[in-house]
Amino acid sequence: MKLLLAEDDERLGELTVHTLKKKSGCTIDWVMSGNDAFEYVTASSYDVVVLDWMMPDGNGRDTCARLRREGYSGAILMLTARDGLQDRVEGLDAGADDYLVKPFEMDELLARLRALSRRSFVPLQEDIVRVGDLVLKRSSQVVEQGGREIQLSPREFQILDLLLQNRGRTLTRELILDKVWGLDADVNLKTIDATVKLIRKKLEPADSRELIQSVRGVGYKIEA
């Protein structure tokens, strides 16, 4: 899981980054302003963005609304000391997916982040993704290659979608399992390998190479 934390309280930011890395092994970038958060999100891909309500250059609600206006469709969690009903309503109306009141327990933050990560694929999702002669259409759940439609099962489509949206990035088997089936599913990692093998059989090689490349001992990727 890749996270962006926007928190201007240096002590809380350091504690949060240290705890999340230790307990979840996630990748996390930390910024201290809304403008920096906006720039990071538009320049990279994050599973979840965590926004503090109050920051030096404005508030998390405004940053959240700005991200939504610009097309960011990933998960957003708002952190705030403001626990009034109207504050929660304003945060959610601005586009936040969840709301956590300070002070909070790190275990609860982790649980909420896992839940948000399971509900979304990647930020800034493209409806139509093209790599070479392969075209994936998310809204219609259609995959075409060289003008012919490729018949994929729902799970196969989800895996291909995930890899294409993260092209150039190696995805671990555990992450694929979490995103497509959920970590609580009764599915082992060999199922990932078997499903990828089926997808490969249905797709033509790109330039004499498999489109989906294996990264030994780690997982799979599609080159950008």
E strands present in 32-175: 48-52, 54-55, 58-59, 75-80, 98-101, 128-131, 134-137, 142-145, 148-150, 171-172
Provide the whole-model pTM.
0.53
Question: Which structural domains are found in the chain, ordered by start?
Answer: 2-119 (3.40.50.2300), 128-221 (1.10.10.10)
CA atoms in the 13 A half-sphere facing the CB of 71:
6
Output the pLDDT for position 183.
66
Q: What is the mean pLDDT of the chain?
A: 84
Long-range (24+ apart) CB contacts under 8 A made by 175-179 are 175/1, 175/219, 176/219, 176/220, 178/1, 178/117, 178/118, 179/117, 179/118, 179/121
Over residues 109-159, the pLDDT tens digits come to 988 888 887 665 444 456 788 888 899 988 788 999 988 999 999 899 999
Over residues 21-40, the pLDDT tens digits come to 888 777 889 999 988 998 88
Cα torsion through 142, 1, 56, 108, rounded to 10: 120
Output the pLDDT for position 120.
53
Beta bridge partners of 59: 54
Residue 104 pLDDT exceeds 90: no
Residue 43 pLDDT exceeds 90: no
